Amino acid sequence: MERTLVILKPDALQRRLIGEIISRFERKGLKVVGLKLAVIPRPLAETHYAVHKEKSFYPSLLQFVTAGPVVLMVLEGNKAIEVVRKLMGKTFGHQAEPGTIRGDFGISSQFNLVHGSDSPESAERELKLFFKPEELLRYPLIDDPWMAE
């Protein structure tokens, strides 16, 4: 099973979309194995988004993601990274397909509700930034056999 980091950004919390977004991931068959509410400190945000450091949107991205509480979660499942990316939709809400999180709830180019790891390498790096190994749980669900290939 694959694991991925998901961050529900400050706009998702401000708009009271936490439950709706998490339920979409769960209904798809992904398992929540780590979950916490936090305010991301700026140094951690800088490390997390370091790949974007030279891009023009980097300062506003840091300001946005550190502006208020976020939900940090680790989702586990078959092809979790790919599944999460598809459920999120394209980066900009106005370009995202209806039926995706961003397509249904976003219109902004800057405030895009949710972050998900984009590769196994990113997921491994990002999970270590936000979660200690002992914060991630392993537990069975009754429908696990139905979610495997």
Going from N- to C-terminal start, the domains of the chain cover 2-147
Q: Is 115 a catalytic residue?
A: yes
Torsions phi, psi for 39 (to 5 deg): -110, 125
Which residues, other chains included, contact 147 with Cβ-Cβ below 8 Å and sequence gap of 6+?
Answer: 29, 77, 78, 141
Question: Tell me, what's the pLDDT at 122?
Answer: 97
CATH homologous superfamily for the domain 2-147: Nucleoside diphosphate kinase-like domain (3.30.70.141)
The pLDDT-based confidence of 128 (bands split at 50, 70, 90) is: very high
Torsions phi, psi for 3 (to 5 deg): -120, 150
Catalytic residue among 48, 52, 94, 115: 115
Q: What is the pTM of this model?
A: 0.95
Which residues, other chains included, contact 1 with Cβ-Cβ below 8 Å and sequence gap of 6+?
Answer: 76, 77, 78, 80
**How far is residue 50's CA from residue 80's CA, in Å, rounded to a whole number?**
23
Question: Tell me, what's the pLDDT at 18?
Answer: 98
Q: How far is CA 102 from CA 43, 51, 98, 113, 121, in A?
A: 27, 22, 8, 7, 24
The pLDDT-based confidence of 148 (bands split at 50, 70, 90) is: confident
Helix axes 18-28, 80-88, angle to 10 degrees: 130
H helix intervals, 1-149: 10-14, 18-28, 42-48, 58-65, 80-88, 101-105, 120-130, 144-147
37's enclosing H/E stretch is strand 31-38
Q: What average pLDDT does range 53-62 have in this prediction?
A: 93
